[in-house]
Structure 1
Amino acid sequence: MTLKRLTLSCASIAIFAFSVSARNIVFPPIAGVNGLIGSDTQAALSSDNAPLHIGLKFQGLTTFANLPYVFCLSEEQNIESYDIAFLGAPFDTGVTGRPGARFGPRGIRQGSHRMSPEAGYNIYAGSNAFLDWAKIVDCGDVPLTVLDNTYALKQLDRAHKVVSGRTANSTEKSSVPRIITLGGDHTTTLSALRSTFDNWDKVSVIHFDSHLDTWRPDVLGGGISDYAGVNHGTFLHIAHEEGLIHNNSVHAGVRAPLFSRRDLKNDVRCGFDIITAREIDRIGVHGIIERLKSRVEGSKVYITVDIDVLDPAYAPATGTAEVGGWSTRELLSILDGLEGLDIIGADVVEVSPAYDNAGETTVLAAAEVAHSLMTLMVQKPVKAST
């Protein structure tokens, strides 16, 4: 046999041996896969019996924290019930800075892909809010037109009423589901406050933001048209004018410049107190928590988080970034400290993924904020006023 033929023969034998061994892979025993141990695990991981649920965090439909999707906007009444619903509001035509928050709901869900109900134990709360009493779902996004702000907000008003108008799953806790909105620019909070008023009456607002957002429409946009006067910097003024909120509301993290001192006078008229960003250096996280709790004591509370309350180092992907803000850890610690409040609705807004970095810093932070808001709701069920 020639050397060339011998070489080819040996190569053929090696390939054959490899193919045989490749067809007979032996998996080591792995405990805990689908409740199987030892030889049962080996069988489960072999060809035809491999469990399909492994790795779902990075597969399938993108819902918040891999929660089940429910078509909550259906006109049918016999859909699956729920207690807390995530609802996307892809709207950004009310901004005065950079656009792009219409993609915020998608970005926040992407930032939550590592979360799941099966692996949701919170070492700070000492519990897994996903698996507590509340049935939590993702309702997807509200289909909003991008060509007419007035009509889009009417669509969002309607969507909130439909989603909150169903009977909750755990009626012994509360008959009304609560909503966590994924924005969208901050204008979308107006629709949420209109909805909460229908079910809970007036609320006190804890507003995490670098801006006041109580500007008079004639100061910000309304000098052009009534249409332009409804935007992400005037929605809290409008909410006050519509009688949706109490006069014991509060801003936290404010640091942005104003038009004039008259803005502060109007802010007081709208019922708000101000905690500036730099106050955390003087009174600390605990002091911020105590200020917030004492301000809204005795009221039902709506929490709205503009992601620009964080410093741009921690949240670059937002439309109107302001330097000198809080860190992600500080914000999460403050949120966790609000346990015990009667929180009837919440949102995370102004996330514009196009301006994020490769590490998805902003969407990861926003997803964790949404998780904290959800945990607060689970910790304290609230009976509806109606």
Structure 2
Amino acid sequence: MKTFIVLAVALAPFFVAGHQIPLTDEKPPTWLSKYGAQGDQPFSGPLSFAHLPYTRCLENEDTAFDVAILGMPFDTAVTYRPGARFGPYAIRSGSRRQRETGGYTIAWGNSPYTQGVKIIDCGDIPVTPFDNAVAVDQIEVAYSTLLERTPVGGFGQRDITRALSKDGLEHPRIVSLGGDHTIVLPILRSLHKVYGPISVIHFDAHLDTWKPEAHYPHQRSEQSRVTHGTFFYLAQEEGLISNNSIHAGIRCKLEGTQDLENDREVGFQLITTDDIDDLGIPEVVRRIRDRVGSTPVYLRYGNVIFVEQA
């Protein structure tokens, strides 16, 4: 009896409801043969910006692109709330719903994925959290490294970097993910090497043109002048930006009218949040275009930093 039970259990996988299942040498289907190449779901896969191809471009020197996404996890020059070092991670996480399929937008009348331009996520700069001077230098070196790469050429006749660059060559664009606002200073230093003084379109609540000695009189070292609120002043001091830059969306409190005078000396024209409400978007856009003209332009929006030529 015991032998019969053991034998019945052993043979059970080959019988269903009294019917014998024939044995076969046929291999089970593979994923590709049954489901095909589907890519990742919006909520799955490696964490890259909008599911773009991901490469450590700073280490892989043969990597070519037209537009690079570059994270800058730096936040040790803020005066109040640190934590922006996690900004690149958060931005990429928030971008997971964006992808090549479904990239067409009615507002633009096209899809950025169908313009023949190679866009890749180049990862993060491994910024040190222990030495701000080193960190600022790391950002400048990394940005300059990518800016000097030969682009794939996807912009074609639409590329205008050749006409704007000092060497007459085409250069890639870089979308920078911050990071506290201090990262703009090393970025502008890098851009100056290629384009000379550059105009800035700055969408933010704060001016970021504070004079270090006026706002931080107790800071004694040269490095302590470099903060998330002084970088535009320092950029003007170093001759990195032109005198036709512009803010849009300013709503911060000031110490007085001297802050506005200093802001104008740095080279900025001012559009406040009230102006945006009163003037409307078309007029704001017109004023921005009139201000920067045909100069090379660095566009900065809050903690998402990127460059584009006007």
Fold match by TM threshold 0.5: yes
Whether 1:243 and 2:228 are equivalent positions in the alignment is no
Give, in whole Å, the separation in 2 of the partners of 1:242 and 1:161.
17
Amino acid across the alignment from 1:156 = I
Within 5 Å, give how 1:167-316 maps onto structure 2. 167-170=150-153, 172=156, 173=159, 175-221=170-216, 223-225=218-220, 226-306=222-302
Which of 139, 155, 163 aligns to 2:138? It is 155
Question: Residue 123 of structure 1: SS of its match in structure 2?
Answer: coil
Q: Distance in 2 between matches of 1:45 and 1:277?
A: 57
Note the C-alpha offset of 1:54. 4.1
Pick from 70, 73, 77 the counterpart of residue 55 of structure 2.
70
CA distance in 2, matches of 1:98, 1:224: 19
Q: Please tell me whether the aligned partners of residues 72 and 162 of structure 1 are also in contact (alpha carbons under 8 angstroms).
A: no
Query: Is the CA contact 1:223–1:229 (under 8 Å) kept in the aligned structure 2?
Result: no
RMSD: 2.2
CA 1:222 to 1:200, structure 2 compared with 1: closer, same or farther past 3 Å?
farther
**Structure 2: gaps spanning 5 or more residues:** 1-15, 18-28, 162-169
Deviation at 1:47, TM superposition (A): 8.7
Match of 2:110 in 1: 127
What is the number of equivalent residue pairs in this alignment?
271
Name the stretch that deviates more: 106-115 or 280-289.
Answer: 280-289
Q: Matches of 1:270 and 1:115 in 2, distance apart?
A: 37
Alignment deviations for residues 38-71 of structure 1 (CA, whole Å, 9 cap, x no partner): xxxxxx9989522242444322211111111122
Q: Report Cα offsets for 1:354-385 as digits up to 9, x if no partner.
A: xxxxxxxxxxxxxxxx7xx8xxx5xxx77xxx
C-alpha distance in structure 2 between counterparts of 1:164 and 1:215, whole Å: 28
What secondary structure sits across from 1:302 in the alignment? strand
Deviations 1:125-164 (A, max 9, x none): 1111122131111100000111111110011111011111
Partners of 2:136 and 2:216 in 1: CA distance: 17
Contact preservation (8 Å) 1:217, 1:223: no
| Contact 1:204/1:247, CA 8 A, preserved across alignment | yes
Counterpart amino acid of 1:257? K
Runs of 5+ unmatched residues, structure 1: 1-15, 18-43, 308-347, 350-369
Structure 1 residues 72-91: aligned runs within 5 Å: 72-74=57-59, 77=61, 79-91=62-74
1:221 and 1:230 in contact (8 A); partners too: no
Give 1:80 shift.
2.4
Find the residue that maps to 1:170 and give its secondary structure: coil
Question: Hey, what's the Cα distance between the residues in 2 that align with 1:45 and 1:128?
Answer: 34
Aligned position for 1:338? none
Describe the superposition over 1:76-99 as per-residue Cα deviations: whole angstroms up to 9, x where unpaired.
64x221011010000011112211
Query: Could you give the per-residue CA deviations for residues 77-123 of structure 1, whole angstroms, max 9, x where no partner exists?
Result: 4x221011010000011112211110000000011001112321122
Deviation at 1:179, TM superposition (A): 0.6
Q: Deviations over 1:336-367 (max 9, x none)?
A: xxxxxxxxxxxx15xxxxxxxxxxxxxxxxxx
The residue identity in structure 2 corresponding to 1:149 is N
SS in 2 for 1:57: coil
Q: Which amino acid is 2:77 matched to?
A: G
Secondary structure at the residue paired with 2:42? Answer: helix
Matches within 5 A, 1:343-382: 348=304
1:108-127 maps to which residues of 2 (within 5 A)? 108-127=91-110
Report the 3-state secondary structure (helix = DSSP H, G, I; strand = E; otherwise coil) of the residue aligned with 2:223: coil
Residue 233 of structure 1 aligns to which amino acid in structure 2? G
Structure 2 partner of 1:60: 45
**2 CA distance for matches of 1:202 and 1:109?**
31
How is 1:97-116 mapped onto 2 (pairs within 5 angstroms)?
A: 97-116=80-99
Distance in 1 of aligned mates of 2:297 and 2:193: 14
Is this contact kept in 2: 1:222–1:228, CA < 8 A? no
What residue in structure 1 maps to residue 12 of structure 2? none
Report the secondary structure of 1:218's partner residue: helix
In 2, Cα distance between the equivalents of 1:215 and 1:110?
33
Q: d(CA) in 2 for partners of 1:147 and 1:292?
A: 38
Instruction: Please tell me whether Structure 1 or Structure 2 has the larger radius of gyration of its CA atoms.
Output: 2
Aligned to 1:5: none
1:49 & 1:146 partners in 2: Cα distance? 48
Distance 1:140 1:227, change over 3 A: same
Shift of 1:242: 0.8
Partner Cα separation in structure 2 for residue 123 and residue 49 of structure 1: 36
The aligned residue for residue 164 of structure 1 is 147
After superposition, the Cα gap between the structure-2 partners of 1:165 and 1:54, relative to the gap in structure 1 and judged at 3 Å, is closer
Q: Could you tell me the TM-score, scaled by structure 2's length? A: 0.81
Q: Secondary structure at the match of 2:213?
A: coil
Identity of aligned residues (%): 42
